[in-house]
Amino acid sequence: MLKINNLSAKIDNKSILQDFKLEINPGEVHAIMGPNGSGKSTLSNILSGKKGYDVTGEVLFENNDLFSLETEERAHKGIFLAFQYPLEIPGVNTNVFLKTSLNAIKKARGEKELDAIQFLKLVKEKAKELKFDEEKLGRQLNVGFSGGEKKKNEILQMSILNPKLSILDETDSGLDIDALKTVAEGVNALRKKNNSFLIITHYQRLLEYIKPDFVHVLMNGKIIKSGGPELALELEKKGYENIN
């Protein structure tokens, strides 16, 4: 599904990722763990299409050259990024934003758009599953939301858009244990044969609830070690410094 070959990225001439390689097949859950400044967020930024990076190498998503696609086209093809810091958009109702987003994607795919009633039914159902306060859906997008609510809102959007590849950029940071469990349930509910996940995190904690198929350790812009779920536990014990 996703193939990253020799990806290098620089920003203002500072090298962040070097010869990064990763392959994710349909249905797989990959976790990338790494200390601050290891290049984790750069990876999610580049995959989502954020501008400002000098990039070399190749990224293929379902055999499409990712770099030839605009950010929104990547979203249309099924890439979703749960932001580390979800943005506030004053004046824009959360429901309206969600509906606009879902219908923009459906339209691009030539699918039938949802009308207001169909959409409300869907969003209510998903909000209930994720224990997301329905009242918040009527409020301005992320304005006045707590850190945890913002993260849950990302997962709500993910479950509504039902993407093929979901990238979770430190979604667990700043979450209390209940919110963490809810987020994990949201991810697990979406986990199907064809949906893949790339979970970027500092800590092993989230991985107790979302069991990854693969764990990769990212240091200084490179994957230095890959393994199964047990690698996360090993990391937790030894720390990043002593993993190699």
User: How many whole angstroms separate alpha carbon 162 and alpha carbon 232?
Assistant: 27
Closer residue to other proteins in complex, CB, 52/239:
52
Alpha helices by DSSP H, listed for the chain, are 40-48, 71-77, 94-108, 116-129, 134-137, 147-161, 177-190, 230-238
The window from 9-17, 92-100, 111-119, 213-221 that contacts other proteins (CB under 8 A) reads 92-100
DSSP 164: S
Q: By CB under 8 A, is residue 139 in contact with other proteins?
A: no
Q: By CB under 8 A, is residue 9 in contact with other proteins?
A: no
In this structure, what token pair is assigned to residue 172? Answer: 């667990």
Q: By CB under 8 A, is residue 140 in contact with other proteins?
A: yes
Please identify which residue in 104, 114, 122, 243 interacts with other proteins, judged by CB under 8 A: 104
The window from 18-26, 79-87, 120-128, 231-239 that contacts other proteins (CB under 8 A) reads 79-87
With a CB cutoff of 8 Å and minimum separation 6, the contacts of 127 are 133, 134, 137, 156
8 Å CB contact between 30 and 212 = yes
Closer residue to other proteins in complex, CB, 69/243:
69
Residue 58, classed as helix, strand or coil, is strand
Q: By CB under 8 A, is residue 108 in contact with other proteins?
A: yes
Residues that bind other proteins (CB under 8 A): 48-51, 70-72, 74-76, 80-81, 83, 86-87, 89-92, 96-97, 100-102, 104-105, 108, 140, 157, 161
